[in-house]
Structure 1
Amino acid sequence: MALSDSVPATARPDRRALAAATTTVVLWASAFVAIRGAGTHFGPGALALGRLLAGSVALVALLLHRREGLPPRAAWPGIAVSGLLWFGAYMVVLNWGEQQVDAGTAAMVVNIGPVLIALLGGKLLGEGFPPRLLAGMAVSFAGAVVVGLSTSGGGSSSLLGIALCLLAAVSYAGGVVAQKPALRHASPLQTTTFGCLVGTAACLPFTPQLVAQVGTAPLSATLGVVYLGLFPTALAFTTWAYALARTTAGRMGATTYAVPALVVLMAWAVLGEVPAPLALAGGALCLAGVAVSRRR
């Protein structure tokens, strides 16, 4: 069933939308941990294609089960643009960028994405610039910078890596802003499924590389790619679209500032990387900013 315009962005907060946004943030944070394992055995393009293929299979199966069919024609421009920018370009460029710079630098550069979303959403989607949203984003951005500084390790940064992470942030922001209008005409599942298929088609030139690297990669790395496709892609992007349909792009973008804080905690629990006090302080700032931005 397609989403109609009957759900205003200014309506009373939807608990289901909040749960969906929380699911997205947690799964996207887990992706950083999974990519660390899989990224040592797969190139940026092969990793993106493998992730998108696994996600596409799961999404198409669910779409057929729910019998939702093709999105309306009016939704296709937004789906195509978000698929190319977010599912395609963002995943490849981010994978490549993280091979060039340390995690802290990447986090600081990519986390300009929510700022761009707020600016583009305010200008192109008519969402305006609520003072509480801007204040919360400022707090969260400061927290992201603190987290990045605490994990940068003092290494030198590649100019190519910084440029790639900046391009990833721009692609992410453009994809979110393009997806928002599509959700007025298509369901979150339709928007996510066909956006993922568009991204997969764009990454098909990496097929030979993926086939070759699957043959040499350990099973754990291949399972990591499958995990990235099923959960941080298929499930998390669908819950993201569900929540985005019920709030503004700027507010949803601000929610993702919680990701760096969760990454620090997950790396601590899964990888045994004990976070520095500065990282914990930065994570607390990220969460505080999200809380401020999402208050009415």
Structure 2
Amino acid sequence: MPVLAALVTVVLWASAFVGIRALGEHFSPGSMAFWRLLAAVVPLTVLMLIMRRRGSAGASGAQARPWIPRGRALVSVLVYGVAWFAGYTVVLNWAERHLDAGTAALLVNLAPILVAVAAGLFMGEGFPRHLVIGMTIAFAGVVLIATGGSATADAHADWLGVVLGIAAAVLYAAGVLIQKSALRTVDALTATWLGAVAGLVATLPFLPVAISEMADATPGAIAAVVYLGVGPTAIAFSTWAYALARTDASAMAATTLVVPAIVIVLSWVLLGELPTGVGIVGGVLCIGGVAIARQVFVRQAPARASRGAKRQARSSGDGLDESRSASPTGRR
């Protein structure tokens, strides 16, 4: 089930890159983020009500789980909601005004390396050789992407877009790390719903512009932005949180390496956009660098067992569950 949930997530997220690019002429970055989050919060709230009612009916006198987590868990969910649902979405929308969808997806998928860097800086995992080599290769790929441009006349790629794409990757990586911490005590649906609410509140300053742009939008554009909220946000973030709660953050981050390939195909078919040959080579270097940094291709069973034992010692059993599911999900 975690593997299936991860597959649903990557397909829906890939479609989001194409949808954002197509909607750029109808909605500004902040306005698009607001409507997308509103379209996500509505079905998530309905689902929360249904699950809450079922949980209360089946509790049989047991204490029901509170709607809102408390203490550090609540802070973690709110922070990741603002950083990922709001910040990442707005920055990615802005980036895709300067990048084609495929190039944006390639840059965002630097996030697994950033997760590894954060682990080295703040979690005592250090900077092993494979991480340094992978970072160097990925950085070379970013330079090629920035200089490669786009093969389509109206789909340019410039340095502002590259910077915004990297900023989106930073916010994405931060969201993964903070969310993983929150999921230790908060269930996936509650974390997704409350994170989306926090993101929606953070985008309220864009409400006046959003209303104005919605009034001028075509029915097709309205349907597309609703799809972004229901599919790549409400459904995909729920399946992501479900899978993330059952594996480790680095393995789930590596799973998204397949997203750029899907995006490039969809962008080519639906939008007629492609990166240049130089940009594609840069993208291959980025993905290859991430794969090397995360050791995607060299995860052997003994290594998994060793890592699982170490995590078990640190987290009294939680790490064992992660080690059992990290390898299959990472290979996907």
Fold conserved between structures, TM > 0.5: yes
TM score, norm. by length of structure 1: 0.80
Q: Distance in 2 between matches of 1:35 and 1:238?
A: 20
In structure 2, distance between residues paired with 1:189 and 1:143: 38
Structure 1 distance, partners of 2:156, 2:248, is: 37
Q: Point out the more displaced range, 134-143 or 220-229.
A: 134-143
CA deviations 1:244-269 (Å, max 9, x no partner) are 11111111111111110111222244
Equivalent residue in structure 1 for 2:112, among 111, 114, 119: 114
How far has the Cα of 1:151 moved from its partner?
7.6
* Partner Cα distance (1:255, 1:140) in 2: 19
Moved more, 285-294 or 196-205: 285-294
Q: Which residue does the alignment assign to 2:81?
A: 83
| Amino-acid identity (%) | 44
1:27 Cα shift? 0.5
Matching residue within 143, 147, 152 for 2:149: 152
| Structure 2 counterpart SS, 1:256 | helix
- Unmatched segments (≥5 aa) in structure 2: 53-64, 300-325
What is the CA-CA distance between 1:94 and the residue it aligns to? 1.3
Q: Distance in 2 between matches of 1:221 and 1:272?
A: 18
- Cα 1:185–1:247 change in 2 (3 A) is same
Matches within 5 A, 1:7-156: 16-67=1-52, 69-73=66-70, 74-103=72-101, 105-124=103-122, 141=138, 148=145, 152-153=149-150
Contact 2:19-2:228 at 8 Å conserved across structures: yes
Q: Is the 8 A contact 1:49 1:204 kept in 2?
A: yes
**8 Å contact kept, 1:104–1:152:** no
For residue 41 of structure 1, give the secondary structure of its aligned residue in structure 2: coil
* Separation in 1, partners of 2:122, 2:2: 23
Superposition pairs for residues 145-184 of structure 1, below 5 Å? 148=145, 152-153=149-150, 157-184=157-184
Cα distance, 1:37 vs structure 2: 2.0
2:205 alignment partner, SS class: helix
| 2:150 and 2:276 in contact (8 A); partners too | no
CA distance in 2, matches of 1:148, 1:104: 11
Q: Which amino acid aligns with 1:185?
A: T
Please report the TM-score for the alignment, with normalisation by the length of structure 2.
0.72
Give the Cα separation in 1 of the matches to 2:158 and 2:286: 27
Give SS of 1:184's match. coil
Give the number of the structure whose alpha-carbon radius of gyration is greater.
2
CA distance in 1, matches of 2:144, 2:228: 23
Map of 2:327 onto structure 1 = 295
**SS at 1:247's partner residue?**
coil
Q: Is 1:198 aligned to residue 222 of structure 2?
A: no
Go from structure 1 to structure 2 and tell me whether the alpha carbon gap of 1:130 and 1:19 turns closer, same or farther (over 3 Å shift).
Answer: farther
8 Å Cα contact 2:150-2:156 kept in structure 1: no
Matched-pair contact (CA < 8 Å) for 1:261–1:282: no
Shift in Å, 1:119: 2.2
Change (3 A) 1:42 1:230: same
In structure 1, runs of 5+ residues without a counterpart are: 1-15
Matched length: 280
